[in-house]
Chain A
Amino acid sequence: MRNPWAQTGNYRTSYVQDTTIFANYREIVSLVLFLVALCTLPLFLERSQVLVLNFILIYAIAVLGLNITTGYAGLISVGQAAFMGVGAYTVALAAPDLPFWLTIPLGGITAAIIGFIVGIPSLRVKHLYLALATLAFQEIFVWVVGRSPALAQGAAIPVEMRNFLGLEIGFRNHNYFWYYIILLVLVLMVIAWRNLLRGKYGRALIAVRDNDRAADAMGMDPGRTKLMAFALGAFYGGVAGGLLAYMQRAVVVEEFTLGRSVALLAMAIVGGLGTVVGSLLGPAFIEFLRLYMERLSEWMKASAFVQNITPAGVDVASALLPLSFGLVIVLFLIFEPRGLFNWWRLLRSYFRTWPFKY
Chain B
Amino acid sequence: MIDFVQNLISGIAVGCIYALAALGFVLVYKSSRVINFSNGQFIAIGAFLAYALAVWAKLPVLLAALLGMLLTAGLGFLVERVFLRKMVGQPIISVIMVTIGLASVLDGLMYLTPFGSGNFTFPQFLPQGGLNLGGISISYPQLLAIGFTALFLVLFGWFFQRSVLGVSMRAVADDQMASMSVGVSVQRVFALAWAVAGLTAAAAGIVVGTVSGLNQDGLIAIGLAVFPAVILGGLDSVPGAVVGGIIIGILQSFSTAYLDGVLSQAGLVGGGSQYVMPFVVLLVMLWFKPHGLFGTEEIERV
Contacts and interface: CB of A to CB of B under 8 A. Distances in A.
Interface string B89-126: 01111101110111111111111111011100000000
A326 B111 contact: no
B93 A127 contact: yes
B276 A144 contact: yes
Interface stretch (B68-76, B203-211, B243-251, B280-288): B280-288
A337 B102 contact: no
B272 A147 contact: yes
A323 B286 contact: no
B96 A326 contact: no
Contacts of A147: 263, 268-270, 272
Contact of B104 (A74, A329, A337): A329
Contacts of B102: 326, 330
A140 B280 contact: yes
A217 B263 CA distance: 47
A156 interface: no
Contacts of A125: 286, 290-291
A60 to B, nearest CB: 19
Contacts of B83: 330, 334
Interface stretch (B14-22, B148-156, B157-165, B223-231): B223-231
A118 B269 contact: no
Contacts of B298: 126
Nearest to B263: A147
A74 B290 contact: no
B224 A135 contact: yes
Given A213-B300, A265-B97, A128 B106 contact: no
Interface residues of B, number: 56
A137 interface: yes
B98 A329 contact: yes
A137 B111 CA distance: 27
Main secondary structure of the interface of B (DSSP, over half): helix
B97 A323 contact: no
A348 B269 CA distance: 56
A327 interface: yes
Contacts of A133: 282-283, 286
State which size class the interface on A falls in: 35 or more
A153 B300 contact: no
A132 B270 contact: no
Interface stretch (A180-188, A199-207, A227-235, A308-316): A308-316
B270 A146 contact: yes
B217 to A, nearest CB: 11
A70 interface: yes
A275 to B, nearest CB: 16
A334 B86 contact: yes
A190 B99 CA distance: 30
Given A128-B96, A135-B224, A315 B117 contact: yes
Contacts of B291: 125
Contacts of B96: 76, 128, 131
A126 B5 CA distance: 39
Interface of A: 70, 74, 76, 78, 118, 120-121, 124-129, 131-133, 135-137, 139-140, 143-144, 146-150, 153, 213-214, 217, 262, 265-266, 269, 311-316, 318-330, 333-334, 337
Give 6 nearest A-B pairs by CB, closest first.
A323-B108, A326-B104, A329-B101, A319-B111, A326-B105, A313-B114
24 contacts: A120-B287, A124-B290, A128-B35, A132-B35, A132-B227, A132-B231, A135-B224, A136-B227, A137-B279, A137-B283, A139-B279, A140-B280, A147-B268, A314-B112, A319-B110, A319-B112, A322-B108, A323-B108, A326-B104, A329-B97, A329-B101, A330-B98, A330-B105, A333-B94
